[in-house]
Amino acid sequence: MRMEAGLARGHNLHVTWKGDVIRISRDVSDEEKTAVGRRKIKVHNSFLKLGVNTAMSSVPNVALLGSGGGLRAMIALQGVLGELQKEDLLGAVMYLCGVSGSTWCMSFIYEHEEWLGKLPILEAKMCDNLVNQSWDPSKSLDALVEPSKEKTYSLTDFWGSVVLYAMLHEANYGHLSKERMVSFNGEVPYPIYAAVDSNKLDDTSKTHPGIWFEFTPHDAGFFHPGAFVDMRLLGSSFENGVLRILKNEKSISYLRGLWGSSFADRKEDVKEIEDYIKHLGEQASASSCHCIYCQAASHAIKLLIHAMEGTTHEHQDENITNIMELLKDQVGSNTYNFLSLLKDKHNTLDKPGRVAQFLTLADMFTQEFAARTSPFTHHEETKRSIWDTLRILSKTVYCLFKWKWGTISNYIYKYPSLNDKNLTGKEELRLADAGIAMNSAYPLVLRPEREVKLILSFDFSSGNPFETVKEAVLYCKENHLPFPDIDVSELDKSKDSPYDCYVFQGHDSPTVMHFPLFNTVNCKDKVAEWREQYSTLKVSYKEQEVKNLLEAAKANVRNNRGRILQAMKSMQAP
């Protein structure tokens, strides 16, 4: 679809779009081909320096996979990349592809042009962020002011701007499209970020290629059936292939929340999200405006927070009374009448019922009285009003109890030339962490169009370190893709005490080198202890823990340099 339109509906964006913004094709984009072509020159030079004598026309594509694994994966991938560069191997990598925690590392380093030469500095900065820095709740709320106005607002927005900011101690409001400049000249591997379509996961097998959704600096979309949108327009509203409402490009913080929400997929983590909501409410319930409506809104926030507690809170009666006193001149209003009823029955309600009642109150109260306040009632520093805070918290609580994640406008809604009604029939997509399907993004680098010949799979997963390999075997079998013939039952025998490197080769298939993070080489006989200490749910690290994890990851590269080099040499054209 070609477009020449200066659209500014929804947001005041004075941009004229020219060219293809929706691409219906199974091929990779022309921009990726150009970037990869430039990268091939650098890869060829790296191969020659390593003694791999191959013609420019037959340079094999090497893909590096970073699996999911929370902060453990983020830190470990940083160590892997640093050591690969130190060993002169990273220059030979064409693609860098991540899932979940690995995408946090990727989006961190790709902020910097020519980052290959800056990895020691970036490693030190990551360590400092994780150990010495903190998060600012006010900054989190500010970031959610505009997203919370959208009907697509979900827990993904909250997860990225609040929970991950609190974990990573870094808020990144840049954009993935900016990585075009970083990858333009071929100095670094071309980045690919993975997600899956939760709607399709509900209806089909985890091995179906149609569940996979990829992000590159140039576009985002489904490689099966082959439908992509310009990365800058993901989240804008389309219908019948026509751009209806232009929206701001999604921030890296939002995308991190989308890419890395696998442990948000577990409903037992509801309490953690509730605790963040309460913390924000307690921090931001005061209003700088002293008008009766803003003061009442402040009490409404306190009511909402108290409603989320498992038992009746003694301050609820007090806050209801305070709001009614402030609104005593509005006795006939819907809000006042609702409060009168609520005061008599809220103690008899269970938690879901109480929350539902207070969400109704917040919505009713906002509709009746927000417009009566002065337009100059925003926080002096942030320009965020008490009404913004009330909206953010109430919509987040609503999403929590509806368990709403990953909703984003569907760019191929009612697209005329696509026959997949399950995809084109929905106004919204529901995207999620790819780790809930497969914790390494094999499907994205196994696309025939990318012509990958060697896969370096660095596995930072919890549990069985061969699970991603087993899932890749099944995926390729069911989708008739070439992959090494692997006896997975043999692998399971060493799942509790794996080696540091496994090489899988096959006829007319890519070679796969698999590196379990914790193994009997770098952890000796303490693999179980390392796994327990660095669990996926570990959300804070001491400095020495970061250094130990970095060293474990680096050792897997350093100890296997010869094997990696041998695999590269074995790909030389005869």
pLDDT tens column, 81-130: 999 999 999 999 999 999 999 999 999 999 998 899 999 999 999 999 99
H-type alpha helices, 382-450? 386-402, 421-424, 442-445
Assess whether 417 carries a catalytic annotation.
no
Bigger pLDDT: 489 vs 98: 98
Q: Please check the confidence at residue 489 and state whether its pLDDT lies above 80.
A: yes
Q: What is the DSSP letter of 26?
A: S
Q: Please check the confidence at residue 394 and state whether its pLDDT lies above 70.
A: yes
Of the spans 19-28, 165-174, 311-320, 336-345, which averages the highest pLDDT?
165-174
Cβ atoms < 10 Å from Cβ of 448? 10
Q: What is the mean pLDDT of the segment spanning 67-92?
A: 98
Torsional sign, CA 407, 412, 415, 420:
negative
Give residue 204's Cα distance to chain centre. Answer: 22
Assess whether 203 carries a catalytic annotation.
no
The pTM (predicted TM-score) of the whole model is 0.94
Q: What is the DSSP letter of 250?
A: P
d(CA 557, CA 135): 33
Cα 502-505-507 angle, rounded to 5 deg? 170
3-class SS of residue 536: coil
d(CA 193, CA 212): 11
96 and 66 in contact (C-beta within 8 Å)? yes
CA distances from 328 to 331, 334, 341, 345, 543 (A): 6, 12, 15, 20, 56
Write the pLDDT tens digit of every residue in 140-192.
999 999 999 999 999 999 999 999 999 999 999 999 999 999 999 999 999 99
Which position among 100, 154, 237, 462 bears the catalytic label?
100
288 and 264 in contact (C-beta within 8 Å)? no
Write the pLDDT tens digit of every residue in 512-570.
999 999 999 999 999 999 999 999 889 999 999 999 999 999 999 999 999 999 999 99
Cβ atoms < 10 Å from Cβ of 22? 21
* Residue 480, phi-psi category: left (phi > 0), alpha (psi -120 to 50), beta (remainder): left
d(CA 492, CA 472): 15
Which position among 388, 433, 459, 500 bears the catalytic label?
433
d(CA 131, CA 541): 6
d(CA 30, CA 23): 11
What are phi and psi for residue 545, nearest 5 degrees?
-65, -40
